[in-house]
Amino acid sequence: MPKTERGVELEGLDRLEDKVKLLVALIGRMRSDQARMADEHQRVLRELEAARTRIQEVEGTSAEISSLKEERDLIRARVSSLLEQLEGLNI
C-alpha cells in the first residue's frame, strides 16, 4: 500500500475514534440527565403527596366546620325556642 492510502485509512480511523468519544460523552451526559430527572421525579412525587395530604386535611377541616355550623344553628334554634317559652311564662 502506498503511504497516502495508509494516511487516508488512519484519517478515517481518527474520525471514527472522535465520533466514538463524542458518543461515549453523550451517553455519559444522558445518564447523568436521567439520574437527575429521576431524582427530580421523586421530589415532585413527594411534593404531590404532601399537597394531597394538605388537601385532605383542609377538606376534613371544612367538613368539621360545616358540622359545627349545623350544630350551632341547632343550638341557636333550641335557645330561641327556650327564650320564647320563658317569655310566654310572664315571669
Cell numbers at residue 32, please? Answer: 447523568
| pLDDT greater at residue 54 or residue 5 | 54
Mean pLDDT of 7-12: 78
**DSSP class of 1:** -
The rounded distance, in Å, linking the Cα atoms of 8 and 70 is: 91
8: Cα separation from own chain's centroid:
56
Across the chain, what does the average pLDDT equal?
A: 91
Q: According to the model, what pLDDT value does residue 36 have? A: 98
Residue 47's pLDDT band, with cuts at 50, 70 and 90, is very high
> What ranges in the chain are assigned the alpha helix state H?
3-88
pTM above 0.75, yes or no: no
